[in-house]
Amino acid sequence: MKSFVPLLSLFLSAASAHTIVRAVYVNGEDQGSAVGIREPGFNGPPGRGYNNSPVKNLTLIDLRCNILGDAPAADHIEVVPGDIVTFEWGHESRLDTDEIIAGSHHGPGLVYIAENPPKSENAWVKLWEKGEYEKNKWFVTTELVENRGAHSIQIPDGLKPGNYLLRPELITLHEAETDFRKNPARGTQLYQTCIQITVKGSGTVALPEGVPIPGVYKQDDPGILYNIYWTEPGAAPYKIPGPTVWSGAATAVPNPPLGPKKGSMWSPPISRWIDAKASIVYSINAANQTVSSQYTATWPGWPEYTGTYIPLPTPPPITATTTEEPTETPTATETATSTEEPSTTVVVPPVTPTPTTFTTSTKTKTEKPKPTKPGKPEKPGKPEKPGKPTKPGHGGGQPGKGNGPKPGKPGHGHH
């Protein structure tokens, strides 16, 4: 018999509980909030911004280490072969009350490793994976949530010293019955964060040739395009996408006892964010103005890459003193005016180079108010036609389990 979830559940919104890695432990000791982590770029300005959204377009460089993932973190976490590294995932905080991820987001967890920076295209080696380990028990929504967002891997024995990137990833399948290219509002959701580590010791084992990221997954791979709500009789069990786990990887390890948490339980206030759909970065300058610049991800030893983003609406730049939104979104070569007065222009100063390459916009633009055409009067005696009912939103929530947003703090939104 075929099994399915009632159609209504497919429309329940689950966007309120996305997730990222917020801290890392070594042998049970917390290294501190965000230490060694390449935090994804915030999408949206302070007060309503969020950086816990998934990547769904498998061709974008964002799939590697998330948005702005090419920008190095300020520090590395030191480890030696045999150490146990624990990743702590969280929806919007490190608090014990955090939701971690929506209960509808079933799917596998994976961990990759690569040299930092990657030395070749096929640099990423799989260290660990876990999917549906019992009937209807998925790693993400069962084991990870029960362990309060924590899961662990062991640094491979004999791994030679050097700088590496660990890349834990969650692949969630609650909307995976549809190809993202055919319906961008749905599709498989992939959550990834990169952690910078420095391996010490006298090991001599080098990583083998791995796989490219992006390039490791295709939209029609059986582990990417998959309907968890409707199973054909005799269908093969779910297969985790990507390569097999490296033979030199350590065996799976349980989480060690975890010590007290260190650092802020919330992300710090932000002064830079990105319109990930248009490849534009916004920041607040010393004069308290919002300025914009084109974002081009640049990896050392890697060709420049500018992704092709889906043109969905995202808040354009605003000044720090107003919340009114302009009527036009800036392009890659224009900076939009964003104050309440239409004659005021945001001045774009030179952008100081950082490890991420930004090409500063070269034009400024003043928005002129457009006259509003008067509406046509209604004909007397003719009743107004009722509007069409609003279609329910999409999502993969389970019936009876609401996933609505909770109140957040500045710098933390719900998506």
In a domain, 144, yes or no: yes
pLDDT digits (tens, 9 = 90+) for 238-253: 999 999 999 999 999 9
Q: Which residues, at least 6 apart from 90, have a Cβ–Cβ distance to it below 8 Å?
A: 19, 20, 22, 98, 100, 149
List the domain range (segments joined by +) for residue 359.
271-371
Q: Where are the beta strands (DSSP E) in 96-193?
A: 109-115, 125-130, 132-134, 137-138, 150-154, 162-172, 189-192
In a domain, 22, yes or no: yes
Binned at pLDDT 50, 70 and 90, residue 30 comes out as: very high
* More confident site: 160 or 330: 160
Same domain, 283 and 193: no
Q: How far apart are CA 353 and CA 368, in angstroms?
A: 33
Same domain, 296 and 169: no
pLDDT digits (tens, 9 = 90+) for 322-346: 333 433 433 333 333 332 333 333 3
In a domain, 101, yes or no: yes
Is a pLDDT exceeding 80 seen at residue 136? Answer: yes
**Count of structural domains, the chain:** 2
Report the CATH number that the domain containing residue 80 is assigned in CATH.
Answer: 2.70.50.70
Rg (CA), the chain: 23
Quick check: 97 and 197 in contact, CB under 8 A?
A: no
* Count, residues in the chain: 415
Is a pLDDT exceeding 90 seen at residue 232? Answer: no
Is a pLDDT exceeding 60 seen at residue 105? Answer: yes
Q: What one-character-per-residue DSSP string does 45-86 give? A: -TTT-B--PPB--TTSTHHHHSTTTTSPPS--EEE-TT-EEE
Name the percent of the chain lying above pLDDT 70.
64
Nearest CA-CA partner of 52 in 313, 295, 413: 413
Same domain, 162 and 311: no
Same domain, 19 and 166: yes
pLDDT digits (tens, 9 = 90+) for 43-92: 776 666 778 889 999 988 889 999 888 889 999 999 999 999 999 999 98
Same domain, 65 and 190: yes
Same domain, 28 and 167: yes
Q: From residue 261, how far is each of 101, 108, 218 by CA, in Å?
A: 20, 26, 38
Is a pLDDT exceeding 60 seen at residue 394? Answer: no
pLDDT at residue number 277: 62
